[in-house]
Amino acid sequence: MLKQELDDTYLALVERHIQQLRFPQGVLLSAQLGKGNEGMKYLLCSQNSRNRKWFHRFFTSRSQIYSYTLNPRNDSGAIVLGELRDQGLASAANSTAQAAEHVESFFNVLRRELAFYIACLNLYDHVKALRCPTAFPQPAPAGMHTFSCTGLCDITLALTMKTTVVGNDILDGKALKLPDK
């Protein structure tokens, strides 16, 4: 599942997001006009891919771009520009932080679930060292009250005594009844 979900293509996509979040081509914000023609709804957008379909590029005229460079001493301008950028980044920053929380939570769950299997393997090693027999039980279909085994021993007794214990055989066809609490 991990191989399938987190394959190289996916990891490359994540890597691309990490690169993009450094904004090498500047912060691209979409906006609309509110009351008084003041900008509002600033939203971080991703740059349109250069690989867009050729007919889309062919039939869509590219917008004119107007540019303005601040005087290096224009501190108030730089502050305003920074505040606009912060407004646009707020939503994407929220999504990124939530994504980080999801990733962290996913790996925490993965660690807990793996811990169960690692504990089983550790137990297997112990039991093997004590020369107790091991096997994967074969479950019978639900409703079939049958149970059989060969050399079934009390594992807690073996672990406490730290030695091999004698097992029991139960013949085929015995009905199994689990005691109530």
Residue in this structure with the two tokens 């690989």, named with its chain if needed = 51
CB of 111 to other proteins, least distance (A): 14
CB of 115 to other proteins, least distance (A): 17
Measuring CA to CA, how many Å separate 70 from each of 77, 83, 144? 7, 15, 81
Nearest partner of 153 among 172, 175, 131, 138, judged by Cα: 131
Buried b (16+ CB within 10 A) or exposed e, 2-12: eeeeeeeeeee
Q: How many residues bind other proteins (CB under 8 A)?
A: 65
Distance of alpha carbon 132 from alpha carbon 137, whole angstroms: 15
Distance of alpha carbon 104 from alpha carbon 112, whole angstroms: 12
- Judged by beta carbon, residue 10 or residue 124, the one nearer other proteins is 10
Site mask for other proteins (CB under 8 A), range 14-33, x = bound: x--x--x----xxxxxxxxx
SS3 171: strand
- Judged by beta carbon, residue 89 or residue 158, the one nearer other proteins is 89
Q: Is residue 45 involved in binding other proteins (CB under 8 A)?
A: yes
CB of 168 to other proteins, least distance (A): 43
Q: Is residue 80 involved in binding other proteins (CB under 8 A)?
A: yes
Distance of alpha carbon 131 from alpha carbon 159, whole angstroms: 11
CB of 170 to other proteins, least distance (A): 42
Q: Is residue 105 involved in binding other proteins (CB under 8 A)?
A: yes
Q: Is residue 106 involved in binding other proteins (CB under 8 A)?
A: yes
What residues make contact with other proteins under the rule CB under 8 A?
A: 5, 13-14, 17, 20, 25-33, 35-40, 42-48, 60, 62-70, 72, 76-78, 80-81, 83-88, 90-99, 101-103, 105-106, 109
